[in-house]
């Protein structure tokens, strides 16, 4: 785990405790930060965390939840993430699926594209593939272009005048979103094929941003309530941006 992330979270927890006037705690701010990072980074369960640090399972859950909500509130909004990006030539947009443990009956969470249950998260990366922003989570059945519209991504990028490269899943998005030429490969002209190859090379870098999220093992297979997933994603985003500064 990143020592800078641990220091950052510890400082935030100390500030939070002073703000709310918290007195004695079973764990120090540093131990609470370590508990939270162990949960997010290596997917330790609350029972494992409680046994390892010497507290009750309920206490471990409460401490982790408090820290996650604190971090989630620090994550940048889309407008905040896009504003400094206006100096860049373009951004890259893509959707990723965070798998969840749901059964076949949970239709809204089933992604026909990925053939599994999960939550749709939109990610925006810079031209080098570095993660700049991650959206709130939507059910996996939501298509990428619909998710982009619901989050206001298309409108905000258009207002900022920032070109954005995306895949064919964003067909019809409009604004400054650019997608490859549509059609079967054999029906495309030589010029269109050349453009699509160049487009694919640029867009491929966004996979680094998605991989950045999933380097936190908790997000590789979520076993919590779907209502908590947005907070977890935003907490990871805040920690990543802080550690990469």
Where residue 107 falls (left for φ over 0; alpha for ψ -120 to 50; beta otherwise) is alpha
Question: Whose CA is closest to 121, among 137, 132, 108?
Answer: 137
Question: Whose CA is closest to 127, among 197, 211, 196, 203?
Answer: 203
Question: Whose CA is closest to 233, among 243, 245, 220?
Answer: 220
The whole-angstrom separation of Cα 88 and Cα 82 is: 10
pLDDT at 75 over 90: yes
The per-residue pLDDT for range 96-148, each reduced to its tens digit, is 999 998 665 556 888 888 888 999 999 999 999 999 999 999 999 999 999 99
Q: Is 126:53 a contact under the CB 8 Å cutoff? A: no
Q: What percent of the chain has pLDDT over 90?
A: 75
**Which residues have C-beta within 8 Å of that of residue 42, sequence separation ≥ 6?**
217
Average pLDDT (55-75) is 95
pLDDT band at 1 (very low <50, low <70, confident <90, very high): low
pLDDT at 88 over 80: no
Q: Is 243:237 a contact under the CB 8 Å cutoff? A: no
Res 243: pLDDT: 82
Report pTM: 0.91
Strands (E), the chain: 91-99, 110-111, 116-125, 131-134, 138-139, 164-165, 177-178
């Amino acid at each position: 785990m990143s020592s800078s992330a641990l220091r950052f979270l510890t400082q935030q927890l100390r500030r939070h405790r002073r703000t709310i006037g918290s007195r004695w705690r079973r764990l120090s701010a540093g131990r609470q930060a370590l508990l939270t990072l162990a949960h997010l980074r290596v997917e330790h369960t609350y029972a494992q965390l409680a046994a390892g640090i010497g507290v009750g399972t309920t206490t471990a859950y409460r401490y982790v939840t408090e820290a996650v909500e604190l971090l989630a509130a620090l994550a940048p909004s889309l407008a905040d993430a896009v504003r400094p990006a206006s100096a860049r030539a373009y951004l890259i947009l893509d959707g990723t699926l965070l798998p969840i443990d749901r059964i076949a009956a949970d239709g809204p969470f089933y992604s026909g594209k990925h053939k599994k249950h999960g939550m749709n998260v939109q990610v925006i990366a810079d031209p080098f593939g570095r993660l700049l922003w991650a959206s709130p989570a939507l059910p996996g059945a939501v298509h990428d272009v619909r998710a982009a519209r619901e989050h206001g991504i298309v409108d905000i990028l258009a207002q900022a005048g920032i070109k954005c490269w995306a895949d064919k899943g964003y067909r019809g998005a409009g604004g400054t979103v650019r997608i490859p030429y549509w059609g079967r490969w054999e029906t495309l002209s030589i010029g269109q094929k050349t453009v699509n190859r160049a487009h694919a090379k640029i867009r491929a870098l966004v996979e680094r941003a998605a991989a950045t999220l999933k380097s936190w093992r908790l997000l590789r297979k979520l076993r919590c309530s779907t209502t908590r997933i947005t907070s977890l994603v935003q907490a990871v985003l805040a920690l990543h941006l802080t550690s990469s500064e």
